[in-house]
Structure 1
Amino acid sequence: MTADWVSGYGLQLLWGVVTTLSVTLMALIIGTVFGISLGAVKIYGAKPFRYSAEVYTALVRGVPDLIIIYLIYFGGTVALTKLTGRYVDINGFAAGVASLAFIFAAYASDIFRGAIKQVPRGQFDAAHALGLSRRAAFLRIILPQAWRLALPGFGNLAIILIKQTSLISVIGLEELLRASSVISGATRQPFLVYSVTAILYLIMTSFASWGFRHARIWSNRGFA
């Protein structure tokens, strides 16, 4: 591996890592907020909203992730073109974040629903006795306790999300896998390039696993 390879293609790979982590972080934040909301709706929402949330989850689980990415990317382009009256090419980064957040929220909603249900009902009753509104009781009493219970499953889902970013290479965004594909074609060294790529993915997921493991330890302070 020459110095030119490292300084040229190596930097391109590192930029792919930055893009991958950026997409992951944005999708994780948006998907988590949406997932918590869906989980709460599945428990506390009115019947039409509960059914809609269940249908949404079933659709995402039943359709391949790649098709959802294509639908959001090309569907977003069509929708914006019709709204503006001129052709609009949707941004690959925005489409990637939206697609992965859309998918992540569906799976996260069931993790949060299960965690919320494990919080004793008496916690809600105690919050009401203290004069807290239903919303305040959920945000300040129920959700912090549910978060601790949801953390193991949530961490696994977040690690999967890092690897799922490789799917958005199909819409032209130069994340890590897309950068690797370009470099592989230019250097004609696919084994070397993809081996380095695999190591980079392993480093990212290992750091994520380490972080979530310590987060679980921290959140379980004072519990047997």
Structure 2
Amino acid sequence: MDSMVFWLTLLGFGDKGWGDELLRGAWLSLEISISAYVVGLALGLAGALAKLSKRRTAVFVAVAYTTIIRSIPDILIIFLIYYTATDALRSAVTFTGLASEFQINGFVAATLSLGIVQGGYSTEVLRGAIAAIPRGQAEAAHALGLTRRQTFFLVTLPQMIPLALPGLGNLWLVVLKESSLVSLIGFTELVLAGKMAAGATRDYFLFYCAIAFVFLVMSGLSAMLFHALETSTANPGRRR
């Protein structure tokens, strides 16, 4: 009983507990995940359209991008973006004379690195969804006088979303878990906050289990949300 009270005190809010830090870390993890997911969707859509285009250069760039992303460990990409991009931007800023010191923000580095990784996988998901749509529909839209942009937004996109949602839901769960990797560049998200709490209290089991529970809750709620989206978009004609 005393141990339970002690654990609840450690997980509580205020000066004696670490609940504030864990909650703040969980919120930052969500912010990173959402931002990276949006960046990944944008890159994935661009990559999917490039792969399906008739331009060899666009196809080559898209294939090279997805191949590199799927071949290199995600943590290495995070390090490359955080350190290499920082050096490159520092050199560019110093060259212009605007500033002598420059350091890329940890949140920006996390968003870009995870977003680039997500983009590589989103490309294949979105490409498959677009390819599954009968080509005759786009040809019919062109015959009716619709431009390529209008055809994409009015014909392709509404049919692509239901087909891509299952894969995109899985990618969201992946980026949610991979947000923990940014703790390695010193960004205080949920895992690093829990690690600091565990190190300060020496109660590693409690805080690591608390981290796992928070991720489990976030993943479960996310799965429910995507399931609802899949259900609502699968048969829109049946909704009342």
The TM-score with structure 1 as length reference comes to: 0.96
Partner Cα distance (1:44, 1:148) in 2: 22
Residues 1:10 and 2:24 aligned together: no
Residue from 107, 120, 131 that aligns with 2:134: 120
Q: How far, CA to CA, are the matches of 1:56 and 1:3 in structure 2?
A: 48
State the partner residue of 1:42.
51
Question: Corresponding residue for 1:157?
Answer: 171
- Number of equivalent positions: 224
- Select the residue among 234, 237, 240 that pairs with 1:220: 234
What is the one-letter code of the residue matched to 2:122?
A: A
Partner-residue secondary structure (3-state), 1:155: helix
Larger CA deviation: 134-143 vs 62-71: 134-143
Shift of 1:218: 0.3
Q: Aligned partner of 1:205: which letter?
A: S
Q: How many Å separate the matches in 1 of 2:217 and 2:208?
A: 14
The residue aligned with 2:210 is: 196
* Greater radius of gyration (CA): 2
2:116 equivalent to 1:102: yes
Show CA shifts across 1:134-162 (max 9, x none): 12211221122011101111101111110
**Aligned equivalents of 2:169, 2:146: Cα separation in 1:** 31
Q: Which residue of 1 aligns with 2:186?
A: 172
Could you give the per-residue CA deviations for residues 3-51 of structure 1, whole angstroms, max 9, x where no partner exists? 3651131110000010000001111111111111110110024101101
1:143 to 108, 133, 157: 157
Question: What letter corresponds to residue 147 of structure 2 in structure 1?
Answer: S
After TM superposition, the structure 1 stretch with the greater mean CA deviation from structure 2, 69-78 or 44-53, is 44-53
Q: Which runs of 5+ in 1 are unaligned?
A: none
Q: SS where residue 235 of structure 2 aligns?
A: coil
In the alignment, which residue of structure 2 is the partner of 1:26?
A: 35
Question: Which of 78, 92, 97 pairs up with 1:69?
Answer: 78
Q: Whole-Å Cα distance in 1 between the matches of residues 187 and 54 of structure 2?
A: 37
Q: 1:5, 1:156 → 2: CA distance?
A: 30
Structure 2: how far apart are the matches of 1:204 and 1:4? 21
Identity %: 36
User: Does the residue aligned with 1:6 lie in a helix, a strand or coil?
Assistant: coil
Which segments of 5 or more consecutive residues in structure 2 lack a partner in the other structure?
1-6, 95-99
Shift of 1:222: 4.7
| 191-200 vs 41-50, greater mean Cα deviation | 41-50
1:83 and 2:89 are equivalent in the alignment: no
| Residue type of the alignment partner of 2:71 | G
- The one-letter code of the counterpart of 2:20 is L
Secondary structure in structure 2 of the residue aligned to 1:173? coil
Q: Return the letter of the residue paired with 2:43.
A: F
- Runs of 4 or more, structure 1, over 2 Å off, are 2-5
C-alpha separation in 2, matches of 1:137 and 1:72: 36
1:194-221 per-position Cα deviation (integer Å, ceiling 9, x unaligned): 0010000000000000000010000012
CA distance in 2, matches of 1:199, 1:27: 22
Residue 179 of structure 1 and its aligned partner are, at CA, apart by 0.5
